[in-house]
Structure 1
Amino acid sequence: MSYRLILTHLKFKNWPFALKLSVIICLIVLIVITAISINSYQLYKKSMQEQVEEFVPRMLAQINRNLDDYVNEMLTVYRTILSPPYNQFLNGFFNNSQEGGNERDILHTFKLNQSLVGVVLYTASGSAYVRSAEAASWMDATYEKEPWFQELQSEKEEPSVLGIIRQQYVVNQPYTFSIAQPIHDAQGKIAGVLMLLGSLEAVKQIVQQIDFGEGASIDIVDRHDRIVYSSGSDKTGSLWQPLEGLFPDKTKADSGSQLVSVGDKDYVISYDSSSNSRWKVVSTIPLDNLSKRAGTAQSRFAIWSLAGFAAAAIIISLISYGMTNQLRLLSRQLQPESDLLPEELSGAERRDEIGHLSKAFRDMKYRIHKLDKEVLEAKLLRREAEIQALHSQMNPHFFYNVLETIRMTLVRKQPEKAEEALIALGQLVRYQAAKMADMVPVHQELSFISNLLSIQKLRFGDRLHVDYHIDPESLDCHIPGFLIQPLVENALKHGISDYDFTLQIVVRVQRDESDLVIHVIDEGMGMTPERLEHVLHAMREDGTADNRIGLTNVYQRIALLYGGRGEIHIESAEGSGTIVMIRVPAQHPSDGGKMKDEHLDC
């Protein structure tokens, strides 16, 4: 199969109808499944993002509530200290002009624990008493110089949650959570400042169990935008600058989530602000963390989509081939090599459009088959009549040539040879009467040619030389009677050599596989290419007008008897002679002289 033919078969318009139908429907199903899968994936991804944007703020709100509980616990401790009977120790401490007052009472009053890691009592005289887990001591410190003191002045008789501050009082804890409040004397003047220092470890314990995946972070920021805790890095005490200064304006609200793009990455920022401490808890989650889960879902969507498409393709193919089965049957019946007759068709009768089409086609084929049979019978009768007419047309021409030869023998006063010629003529007439309408064996046709040439020998004498090259396997093959005779007569007429006026004729009969090949060769004057083309044209059209009855008869008999399976070919060159070749199917004697549709060996 050639490359061009393969490309032709690959074209969509040349595909079988069932395959076209299956492919088109499968493509539609694939588009629908793909659209549904993509839409489902997008909805799933969006749903996950919405769930994260809704769930994470709730989690952050819970963290804020825990932080508020921690702050409230510290405030409770603070308020307890300022309540009787503990407040008398503080009043005595600040009212006593001597440094320290009664330190034993102070040490007994402030009991430290894991949350409360230190207490600082600032006096108006510029000193501070520091109570920590390691020791208790006096230090030089003025509260008025501290940056947080201005904030205390705005508060009215309430503890102030300062958030995170840097201090040097508690060892190994440079940053602490602090609550402070000025202590006033009886005249309403500030006698000092009480500050409680809380541990940040409690804050870490609240959030350290929460993990939003790789690259995510949780930041706790006080009301001054200083970092209390950061899971991403140790930035405690530094100014909070999330995502290189990019932060959604909506974080001014109490709680929410927003998608923020930084460079080529997207982040989901969720936040929650405490109305009590005014601290913010902010989570930064890379959108890729959500995409990983969405990617897993996408893979599952893809697998199920492919499985669904494969199942749909199988079902569609079965349905398509079932629906077009009747069309394929009709298509096979339309093929030239189909031998199915309408009455031989099987299959359940259908009531749909295809069933009606199939029934109409069967009826049409039955009528065509009947008409074709009638036309074939008429054609055979016409062919036999034409062959008989050709024989009748050939006989006068043949007898005229023979009688003319006998007449020339008598003119030369050779009665003995004329008698021999008449005897040969009688044998020819008997052969013609017996075999005129039949297929004859090759050996009988050659015997007829031999008698014919013996008569012509009287005319040409020693100038006539005939060579026979006969394949023994061809002797029993059958050919139409008088098929070779017109070719031999043409060789006798046109085969005289211009050099020595002799006649050299070669008759060759050979088998070529399933064909029989006959050559009649002469060494006469030959023909020019123009003359040869004219002879071939006259032979194919109608040579009777050009006095070429014999050659035209042979051509027409081959065409009528063998159709496209027989041929006659002529080669000639001026001054070199002519070769006439006939190729016909070799037929076995059992054919009984009748033509068959298949080639049969002898």
Structure 2
Amino acid sequence: MRKYWFRSLGTRLYLWVILCIIFPVVGMFIYSFWTFEGIIKEEVSQRSIESITGIENEINNIFDNLVRASNVLSNNDSILRVLKDENRSYYERSTDIGKAIDNVIESNSVLSQAKITIFDNRMDVYSNWSLNFNDYRFLYQEDWVQQAVNNNGHLVWRLLEPSFINEEKNRNKNYISLARVIKGFGNGEDKSGVLIISLSEEVFIRIFQKNKYISNKDDIVIVTNDSKKMIMSLDPRGISNSQEVSKLMHEISDEERGYKLREVEGKRYLVNYYTISRVPWTFENGEWKVTVFTLYDKIIKELKTFTSKVELFFGLFIVAVLVILGVLTVQIVKPIRKLNKRMMKFNPSHELTRWEIGRKDEIGHLNLAFQNMAENIKELFVKLETEHIIREKYRFESLRAQLNPHFLFNSLNTIRWMAILRKADNIVENVDALVNLMSYSMSRSSEFVALREEIEHIRSYVHIQNSRYGGKIELEVEVDSVMMEMQIIRFILQPAVENAIIHGYKDANRQGTILVKAIPEQNNLALYVMDDGVGIEQDRLSSILVEEQVKQGNERKISGIGLKIVNERLKMSYGHKYGVWIESEVGKGTVVKFLLPMVQEEVSEHDEGVVG
């Protein structure tokens, strides 16, 4: 039952629909989801990197403004005069330097957020921020400030280090600072002072926060330097110090830009990273790598919503297809099963009743074809019975007529002995040839004979014909002893010899030669009958093997077998590559070729049609 269920048409229809429709649709849906997901990742990553590129330009502008501001302040005449004036009080000097700094700040917006600190050669400190009576001379002794003092006026940077301001030391605030000598302070003459400009990291954080593509409250931004040290972060989730993030930072340290999909603390993030390396100033560990973590579920939220709707649609679609397919299967399979039962019960000996199913589609045509086939089988069955009766009748008549050939042989034998007694040798030879012909023709031993027997039969036939036409035909045989024993079908050579004598020499008053030749050809036996008669016209030559023999020709022949029948018999018995081929040229003669397989042993009658 299970085997029948699997082999049933309805089951296979269901399986074909699943294989050809449902599976491809589901596969296309999954492929589309993956494709769209990849496109979204690429798009989000591209936008993030473009945003970081814009941030890179803003950061470069900030550094440029800091450098320009340091140039302006270190060369400001008001500040230089105050720093060199030793007669004025600290308060007066501080007030005048403050005014000069304010004037510079008005023309440089970045400096409004900067803390500017100046040391003179007396180690007095001036600033645009409140000193609160704290002693900041320790700042002058810092290594990076001393490096600036000894750097011949070149800038020295201090990137995102903790604040040196006493009130901010416990607030975890970091600053980017630059230091440079004002005029020739230090080893040179005209000592004036040291300028320090510091900018809080909050300025840079606000640049990241105002960017619309990486300013989401769930996004995490981490900035690291060349040594993989984190120098800045926007981390509302507090994952920047996790082991997964540290491992990722090490993994992407040698990559300039790109994106990866990573899971951090149970959540998937699309991680985009870009290296800021175009800062026009040289820093220690100066390249910054900006890494942005974006919640992946939020990126594909809309895609998931769309996917859920599509899944619902496809689910309903599949259910509808299966229901419709079930209905169609019943409508298709039910009449086929009924028709199958009728076919299984069909018996040509019983009366056939027509069955109308009222359909005009392929099933209706199939039913009509079955009805017609059944009627034809019924007719053939009746015809076969009739032919069987006729065949048995002819068989009985044939058995009754088998006495006639024996009577004819006995009569010819009497005539032969009378000719011998009267010494009429030519009559004896003709009677012997005729007896051989009739014996060969009426033999029922086998349809297959040795080539030697067929050639002897041809000799007898030519002898009789020579007696009739005055001995003008000479028969030559070129067949070796091995070929002589090859088995062939009886009477295949005689039609070619008959045609040569009857048609090839009918109007010729000269001696003619017929050559019978046998040669092996690619493990096959090739027999040739060649004459030097009048030849055959080309239009007639092309029709010999496809038309029946003309009546007049058959009346003069001993067998009534034509080359067309011989050709068909060879192909039927041995295969389509075997048969008869004819070549002829008018005035020169005709060549008839017979191609057969080489068969040495005698083939019985029941093997006919399977030789070769």
User: What range describes the TM-score normalised by the shorter chain of this pair?
Assistant: 0.3 to 0.5
Larger radius of gyration: 1
Considering Cα pairs closer than 8 Å and 6+ residues apart, tell me whether 1 or 2 has the greater RCO: 1
TM-score w.r.t. the length of structure 1 is 0.48
TM-score w.r.t. the length of structure 2 is 0.47
